[in-house]
Amino acid sequence: MDAEFLFTQFLGLLGAALYFLSYQCRDNRKLYVMQFFSYIFYTTHFLILGAMTGGISYLLNLARSLFLASKWKFARSNKMCIILCFLQIVVAAVTWAGWISLLPICANLATTIGGYTHNAQKIRIATMFVNSPLWIVYNIIIGSWAGVLDEVASEISAMISIYRYGWKNLGEIQD
């Protein structure tokens, strides 16, 4: 293994650690701030790996986290959700590399829609049953071992948060 590969995986691991910690935040705004920093590392990680769809779509995830963590009403509105979803589709078209490009885009669409419900239960459902499984497959194909670890850790972290806070307590919509 060369130094660039190890460095790239290290960036992914930093992103994974921050993403894991994000689900330990009960407050959705804090969760999105943690995910914002995670996405910075992941964007770099994917771009170095040459996974353009994953890398560029993570830029939209970065924006999504900023918007959802903000107090700007429009950024947290359903209209912004539609804009972000449309931009994910544009990213797929621009970076098209075959069916593999659908994996991160579909994952991100589910997470975006889940996030814009402002409901911690739905955020975790989108992560556990759509986002993480699709990203795991994508990460295996592109050689992001840190990404695979991240998604497994995300699944575990979401389960821990459900245990810590209780499923019923996560059902409240947070503005």
**Nearest in space to 101 (alpha carbons), one of 154, 141, 152:** 141
Write down the number of H helices and E strands in the chain. Answer: 8, 0
Residue with tokens 């996030």: 115
- Residue 61 lies in domain: 3-171
Structural domains of the chain, count: 1
Q: Is 47 exposed, middle or buried (0-12, 13-18, 19+ CB in 10 A)?
A: middle
Q: What is the pLDDT of residues 38-97, one digit of tens each?
A: 889 989 999 999 999 999 998 999 899 899 989 999 999 999 999 999 999 999 999 999
Instruction: Quick: pLDDT tens for 153-174.
Output: 888 888 888 888 777 766 666 6
- Alpha carbon distance 57, 112 (integer Å): 11
Question: Which comes out higher in pLDDT, residue 22 or 76?
Answer: 76
Backbone angles phi, psi at 49, to 5 degrees: -70, -10
